[in-house]
Amino acid sequence: MRQSRLLTKTKKEAPSDEVAKNAQLLIQAGYIYKNMAGAYSFLPLGLRVIEKINNIIREEMNSIGGQEMYMPSLQEDRLWKLTDRWSDENVDVWFKSELQAGGQVGFGWTHEEVVTDIMRQYVSSYKDLPFSAYQIQTKFRNEVRAKSGIMRTREFWMKDLYSFCATQEQHDEFYEAAAKAYERIFDRIGIGEKTYKTFASGGAFSKFSHEYQTLAEAGEDIVYVNEKKGIAINEEVLGEADLSELGVTREELVEAKSIEVGNIFSLGTKFSEAIGLTFKDEKGENRPVIMGSYGIGPARSMGTVVDLLSDEKGIVWPESIAPFRVHLVALNTDDQEVKDWADGIYTVLQKEGVEVLYDDRDARPGEKFADSDLLGIPYRVVASRKGKEQGTFEVVTRKTGEVRNLSEEELLADFDDEE
Amino acid sequence: MRQSRLLTKTKKEAPSDEVAKNAQLLIQAGYIYKNMAGAYSFLPLGLRVIEKINNIIREEMNSIGGQEMYMPSLQEDRLWKLTDRWSDENVDVWFKSELQAGGQVGFGWTHEEVVTDIMRQYVSSYKDLPFSAYQIQTKFRNEVRAKSGIMRTREFWMKDLYSFCATQEQHDEFYEAAAKAYERIFDRIGIGEKTYKTFASGGAFSKFSHEYQTLAEAGEDIVYVNEKKGIAINEEVLGEADLSELGVTREELVEAKSIEVGNIFSLGTKFSEAIGLTFKDEKGENRPVIMGSYGIGPARSMGTVVDLLSDEKGIVWPESIAPFRVHLVALNTDDQEVKDWADGIYTVLQKEGVEVLYDDRDARPGEKFADSDLLGIPYRVVASRKGKEQGTFEVVTRKTGEVRNLSEEELLADFDDEE
């Protein structure tokens, strides 16, 4: 895409009303726009990043058999009363409104009740199990205080997967597969090294649940970590008995700030019993389905990447989720020959299937480089008069600052290799 | 995908609480689920159809330069008060709720105000214009009565594109390009022949706006059509003066029921003046941006296809938006050799990149064929004992009922040709 046609522009300064680094950088670079406290727009560059994250999530959810679907936000009280999660006393994040046709509706903040109800019509025998379903859908939560930029908002996408099993063995097997898929997701979006599967309290149906916590100074959570043992523990399970079960002592653990980027949870038969999702087992006896739920926030993951990987010059995207792979920057665009040369390599790169943002604007080199650093696209390819004379492009790796001068042939070979 | 693993099943009967054919068939076949009046889930097969429609819309919006973004549902009153569209007296479809932090929020039923506000920071000169931006995003409308299945719901996806121009000429040119893109979209999803660009009243800034109306018995709109002249007219512009401008007489027009699948509208400077979206023209004078808005409902389009193209046996999907291209139906699955043979062609078709739903279930042929007709996948490929003996697959075209017996080689060549 030609940057001269991109509807967004970078700003000289970070916005004064944001304290979170992710929101400051993403707004300054034109990835997002703050519409109100806790509700952001994703502008063209920002939506490209979200879509890449979503596609990584989809691939990994599909790889463990997850079937994608989509449930509505609008909720009647019926199902939620069965699980005692309708009243504002029990759940303090509902947005509710009045139907003109009469009656109250709520805007979904999670979907356990909804998905359990839907599956009642499709599950009758143990032969229908196990399976899992997920959606990437918008949740609404009436947070008293929106904070941390795109990390804690009142409206946000969530990938929520739900599993349905006949036996505890089936459930445990799926839970492990989901945990591994989560690790692959965080690896692929570039925060795997800092992200710990963290032990948290499990509720009535399992000893532990698991949060995926990314160690980060900007985090609003606290975890207790032993990096050497590769273990992290939530405050809830810091008791002696829990620690001994996990094979660590309190002294071995260091307190660290972190961001919860995902969680997985054994639900047992809580929802299936309340809502009536049962199946006939091999003996013909009716039993409630054993469920699990598995969440990831795509925008929170995006914010975490920005908080964790950016430097003093701006954002540093991992290739896997960058809005474009290459930022082609044309200098000396007043010289028609240089301009044609830059246009030429733009056409060639596009033809080769390389995703390119092409800075074809009439602007000073300093401004272009500052914008390029701020935007954080992995490879900057500079087309200049000097380069043209030498027959080379300057290729700068955003993450390392490494500079290489490559001929067109070398450049194309380079991007071919790295696909 | 193996049908034995698909989480949905067909139902013997259409649901008794739906009168609209689209909802009856889509629920019976397992494409959608009714969560409440006016709010549906899109189950795996249904979401596949929606995604195909969305991708056609995306391709055509991108082809006219549209840049995809995403705006939030949550709305504060500020902008909407500038255009007098906040109060329930002026707009009767708002869902509103109270923020715990204080103040009211609404759930977006359209986004003109929002997008105009966002663009203020990116438009300063005529050089920044023209451009256009769109989203595929969820709208909420507090309809007194939800009706017509997935055609008029309280929560629905909408593709809404907004154009921003410096001059009326720029606007007119874009408006025409958008109109052509809309025609391509309706052609591609299979309802082009029955869909008319219909003249409707234009508001303050243009003589006419345009609705895309698909002639259908199930429609809840009325249009006046002359099929020969290829013109359709909304009741609003049936006056003598309008008709004479359009070159038709009342006598030439026939009343017909129709479904509004899209609309395009010149907004003039209504929103840019109210919200302060201005630019400096060549002479350095401040002027308001000239805008347009362009909507399509993906789920309504899906419902229209079902209403229009289904037959007494079930749904008939056009290839372009079918959830799968091929429904491979294995018979005689108790015979391991036939099963292996069917598994084999499933593997081969997948390897060739053909999207296949594979009915590998242990069920009677009659049940499988009825399900297959109901699901409406364009090509049914039957693998049976008899076929195996003859070395052929029976290929049935859903739309025409045409039956062909093809060898594996012929089958693959056939699907290659038609890509």
Query: Which residue of chain B has the CA closest to A41?
Result: B71
B133 reaches A (C-beta below 8 A): yes
Contact by Cβ (8 Å): A261, A195: yes
pLDDT above 90 for B63: yes
The mean pLDDT value for B36-46 works out to 97
Pair of tokens at residue B382: 């039957």
Secondary structure (3-state) at B110: coil
Pair of tokens at residue A175: 């839970």
Rounded mean pLDDT of chain B? 96
Which residues, at least 6 apart from A369, have a Cβ–Cβ distance to it below 8 Å?
A: A329, A380
- Tell me: the pLDDT tens digits for A23-54? 999 999 999 999 999 999 999 999 999 999 99
Pair of tokens at residue A242: 């829990």
Smallest Cβ–Cβ distance between B7 and the set A73, A133, A144 belongs to A133
Positive or negative torsion for Cα B241, B247, B253, B256 = negative
Smallest Cβ–Cβ distance between A68 and the set B9, B47, B119 belongs to B47
Give me the pLDDT at residue B417, please.
Answer: 56
- Mutate which: A10, A13, A69, A145, vs B, most B CBs within 10 A: A69
A74, B39: Cβ pair inside 8 Å? yes
Q: Which of B58, B27, B26, B3 is nearest to B317 (CA)?
A: B26
A43 reaches B (C-beta below 8 A): yes
Rounded mean pLDDT of chain A? 96
Q: Which fold has domain B324-417?
A: Rossmann fold (3.40.50)
A265 DSSP assignment: E
Give me the pLDDT at residue B109, please.
Answer: 98
Which residues, at least 6 apart from B138, have a Cβ–Cβ distance to it below 8 Å?
A: A73, A138, B73, B155, B156, B157, B158
Q: Give the Cα separation of A265 and B59 in Å (integer).
A: 39
Compute CA B25 distance to the chain's CA centroid, rounded to the nearest angstrom. 17
Chain B, residues 326-355, CB within 8 A of chain A, namely none
Give me the pLDDT at residue B204, please.
Answer: 80
B63 reaches A (C-beta below 8 A): no
Work out the pLDDT band at A417, boundaries 50, 70, 90.
low
Enumerate the residues of chain A whose CB falls inside 8 A of the CB of residue B67.
6-7, 44
Enumerate the residues of chain A whose CB falls inside 8 A of the CB of residue B68.
44, 47
B74, A140: Cβ pair inside 8 Å? yes
Pair of tokens at residue A389: 């004379």
Q: Which of B412, B413, B395 is nearest to B404 (CA)?
A: B395
Q: Give the Cα separation of A38 and A144 in Å (integer).
A: 10
Smallest Cβ–Cβ distance between A69 and the set B43, B65, B145 belongs to B43
Q: Is it true that the peptide bond before B130 is cis, omega within 30 degrees of 0?
A: yes
B71, A140: Cβ pair inside 8 Å? no
- Tell me: the pLDDT tens digits for B300-335? 999 999 999 999 999 999 999 999 999 999 999 999
Work out the pLDDT band at A419, boundaries 50, 70, 90.
very low
Enumerate the residues of chain B whose CB falls inside 8 A of the CB of residue A69.
7, 41-44, 46-47
Where in chain A are all domains bearing CATH 3.40.50.800?
326-417
Enumerate the residues of chain A whose CB falls inside 8 A of the CB of residue B39.
72-74
Note the ipTM here.
Answer: 0.97
- Render B138-205 in DSSP notation, one character per residue: EEE---SS-BTGGGB-SEEEEEEEEEEESSHHHHHHHHHHHHHHHHHHHHHTT-TTTEEEEEEE-GGG
How far does the CA of residue A197 sit from the closest CA of chain B (Å)?
A: 29
- Mutate which: A41, A47, A143, vs B, most B CBs within 10 A: A41
Q: How large a percentage of chain A has pLDDT more than 90?
A: 94
A122, B35: Cβ pair inside 8 Å? no
Q: Give the Cα separation of A211 and A243 in Å (integer).
A: 16
Give me the pLDDT at residue B419, please.
Answer: 46
Question: Which residue carries 């963290």 as its tokens?
Answer: A198
Query: Which residue of chain A has the CA closest to B74?
Result: A39
B100, A114: Cβ pair inside 8 Å? no
How far does the CA of residue B391 sit from the closest CA of chain A (Å)?
A: 33
How far does the CA of residue A71 sit from the closest CA of chain B (Å)?
A: 4
Pair of tokens at residue A178: 């989901």
- Tell me: the pLDDT tens digits for A239-268? 999 999 999 999 999 999 999 999 999 999
A5 reaches B (C-beta below 8 A): yes
- Domain B21-309 sits in which CATH superfamily? Bira Bifunctional Protein; Domain 2 (3.30.930.10)
- Tell me: the pLDDT tens digits for B345-401? 999 999 999 999 999 999 999 999 999 999 999 999 999 999 999 999 999 999 999
How far does the CA of residue A339 sit from the closest CA of chain B (Å)?
A: 19
Q: Which of B314, B227, B300 is nearest to B57 (CA)?
A: B300
Enumerate the residues of chain A whose CB falls inside 8 A of the CB of residue B70.
41-42, 47, 50
Query: Which residue of chain A has the CA closest to B154?
Result: A74
Where in chain B are all domains bearing CATH 3.30.930.10?
21-309
Query: Which residue of chain A has the CA closest to B362?
Result: A127
A370-402: b (≥16 Cβ within 10 Å) or e? ebbbbbbbbbbbbbbeebbeeebbbbbebeeee
- Domain A326-417 sits in which CATH superfamily? Anticodon-binding domain (3.40.50.800)
Q: Give the Cα separation of B419 and B414 in Å (integer).
A: 9
Positive or negative torsion for Cα A114, A118, A120, A126 = negative
Secondary structure (3-state) at A179: helix
Query: Which residue of chain B has the CA closest to A145?
Result: B101
Q: Give the Cα separation of B411 and B73 in Å (integer).
A: 47
Q: How large a percentage of chain B has pLDDT more than 90?
A: 94
Smallest Cβ–Cβ distance between B97 and the set A74, A95, A143 belongs to A95
Positive or negative torsion for Cα B315, B318, B323, B329 = positive
- Tell me: the pLDDT tens digits for A263-307? 999 999 999 999 999 999 999 999 999 999 999 999 999 999 999
pTM of the model: 0.97
Q: Give the Cα separation of A194 and A186 in Å (integer).
A: 9
- Tell me: the pLDDT tens digits for B85-103? 999 999 999 999 999 999 9
Compute CA B245 distance to the chain's CA centroid, rounded to the nearest angstrom. 31
Give me the pLDDT at residue B147, please.
Answer: 83
- Tell me: the pLDDT tens digits for B129-179? 999 999 999 999 999 998 889 999 999 999 999 999 999 999 999 999 999
B96 reaches A (C-beta below 8 A): yes
Q: Which of A117, A62, A69 is nearest to B46 (CA)?
A: A69
Secondary structure (3-state) at A319: coil
pLDDT above 90 for B270: yes
Pair of tokens at residue A275: 């809502």
A161 reaches B (C-beta below 8 A): no
How far does the CA of residue A338 sit from the closest CA of chain B (Å)?
A: 23
Where in chain B are all domains bearing CATH 3.40.50.800?
324-417
Enumerate the residues of chain B whose CB falls inside 8 A of the CB of residue A41.
69-72, 114, 118
How far does the CA of residue A168 sit from the closest CA of chain B (Å)?
A: 20
Work out the pLDDT band at A205, boundaries 50, 70, 90.
confident
Enumerate the residues of chain A whose CB falls inside 8 A of the CB of residue B46.
69-70
How far does the CA of residue B32 sit from the closest CA of chain A (Å)?
A: 9
The mean pLDDT value for B185-206 works out to 94
Query: Which residue of chain B has the CA closest to A92?
Result: B100
Give me the pLDDT at residue A371, please.
Answer: 98
Compute CA B393 distance to the chain's CA centroid, rounded to the nearest angstrom. 34
Secondary structure (3-state) at A338: helix
| Helix-helix angle A44-63:A298-309, to 10 degrees | 110
Give me the pLDDT at residue B132, please.
Answer: 98
Enumerate the residues of chain B whose CB falls inside 8 A of the CB of residue A101.
37, 143-146
A72, B33: Cβ pair inside 8 Å? no
Q: Which of B309, B332, B334, B317 is nearest to B382 (CA)?
A: B332
Query: Which residue of chain A has the CA closest to B95?
Result: A97
- Mutate which: A9, A12, A33, vs B, most B CBs within 10 A: A33
- Mutate which: A100, A107, A160, A161, vs B, most B CBs within 10 A: A100
Other residues' Cβ atoms within 10 Å of the Cβ of residue A362: 10
Q: Give the Cα separation of B68 and A203 in Å (integer).
A: 42
Chain B, residues 72-91, CB within 8 A of chain A, namely 72-76
Query: Which residue of chain B has the CA closest to A143?
Result: B100
